[in-house]
Amino acid sequence: MSLIVVGLNHHTVPVELLERVSVPSGKLSKALHDLSSREHLAEVVVLSTCNRTEVYARCTLFHPAVQDVREFLAEHSGTDPTEFDDHLYTYYDDSAVAHLFGVAAGVDSMIVGEGEILGQVRDAWSLAEAEHATGPLLSRVFRHAVEVGKRARTETEIGRHAVSISSAAVAMAQQRVSSLRRSSVLVLGAGEVGEGMAVALGAAGVADLVVANRTRTRAARLARRVGGRAIALDEIADALVRADVLLTCTGAGSVILQRDDIEAVVEAREGRPLLIIDVAVPRDVDPGAAQIHGVNLLDIDDLRRHADESREQRQHEVAQVRLIIAEELERQRVEHSAREVAPLISALRERAETVRTGELDRFRAKLDGLDPAARQVVEALTEGIVNKLLHEPTVQVKQAAGTARGELYADALTALFDLPDRARTSEAE
């Protein structure tokens, strides 16, 4: 059985398609159960953020498993798979692990080095475990990925000067208004990104900071933290009439503010311009609002262009992180190879022990006359002979694990000692 990742991200598709295949947080549990029920997917983790939707899976057969994921994405999004086939990427085994390590380390993010993704990787893994959708292989790989992400941020400066999605959204706002300090800003959403935007706005000294969220208590808690005030969702329209900027990122899964809603707000603003930065995927604001006079609507694609401007500044750190990923991949391969040969070595020793004890039983009539001390000597002697005979083959198989030579040794031992094929099955199976 093998590890695969199948997905779409900000590198491969525009926001219109990415938001369609996105899996809202409220539907992740259902998605995990759906995927787990498919014939060729034995373990599953779904990572769906504003930048990517990816399915990591332990599969029984590669091509049928990819087809299972493809069908899930089409059914979940209501999209003809031909619309995203050319944009879908698939990685297998070592390449899948390398991709996950890069995601966790922040080098595959739209904002290189952003720290939010590491928490999202951890949360995706935790939810899969809670829903019993994952198992030993994916749990081991995701645990290692979290370690890689932490190491990248500890040993390099990849995240030292990098901006997060939330702080990048605030930076875009600062570029487009004369002064945030004299502005009224509404933040819609109090999740991880919404919280980050509110904190960044508070640090920027926004004059009037308002937080709205589906859960009023969470909005109130965040508002107190940043020196703002909280409102209910049904108060958004009134708040927008007074606001200069709207920053939004919720997990609603569909449009919250329709074009008609924004038009009604604009009519009451008496010609004052409104900047809207919507970094949610799927989008919170109807894209048609961009056509309204006086509204400047920016989305995740605009954030991508903003990110490209600062990417060059962190290329040296990216190279350093890539070296760490390479080291961790090699460690992962060695550990995986050791796990693969362990059942083979165990089966070999069990076979030898069966032969040893069988021979002792065959000569039991002659051995029964020995006193206990002599009997112990015979046991020790035969055990010693077996251990010495098996020592060198064991060492050689372990040292060659994961190489073509190791495969030859493993095949030879399996055939020569008539070991069961199951002895070479990984522990994940």
CA distance 42 to 62: 12
By the 8 A CB rule, do 297 and 287 touch?
yes
Longest dimension (CA), the chain: 110
Is residue 249 among the annotated active site residues?
no
| Residues near 315 by beta carbon (within 8 Å), at least 6 away in sequence | none
Residue 363 class from Cβ within 10 Å (0-12 exposed, 13-18 middle, 19+ buried)?
A: exposed
**Token code pair at residue 243:** 């606001």
By the 8 A CB rule, do 70 and 55 touch?
no
Catalytic residue among 31, 45, 50, 111: 50
CA distance 370 to 10: 77
Task: Give, for 28, the enclosing helix (H) or strand (E).
Answer: helix 28-36
Helix (H, G, I), strand (E, B) or coil at 61: coil
**Token code pair at residue 351:** 């076979």
Buried b (16+ CB within 10 A) or exposed e, 286-300: beebbebeebbbbbb
**Token code pair at residue 19:** 């938001």
Task: Give, for 401, the enclosing helix (H) or strand (E).
Answer: none
**Token code pair at residue 310:** 């600062």
By the 8 A CB rule, do 245 and 173 touch?
yes
**Token code pair at residue 1:** 């059985």
The single-letter DSSP state of residue 110 is S
CA distance 214 to 24: 15
The amino acid present at 142, given as its one-letter code, is F
CA distance 363 to 233: 85
CA distance 427 to 342: 9
By the 8 A CB rule, do 147 and 299 touch?
no
For 213, 237, 257, 340, 386, the CA distances from 222, given in Å and listed in that order, are 10, 20, 22, 49, 68
Cα 37 off chain centre by: 21
- Residues marked active site are found at 50
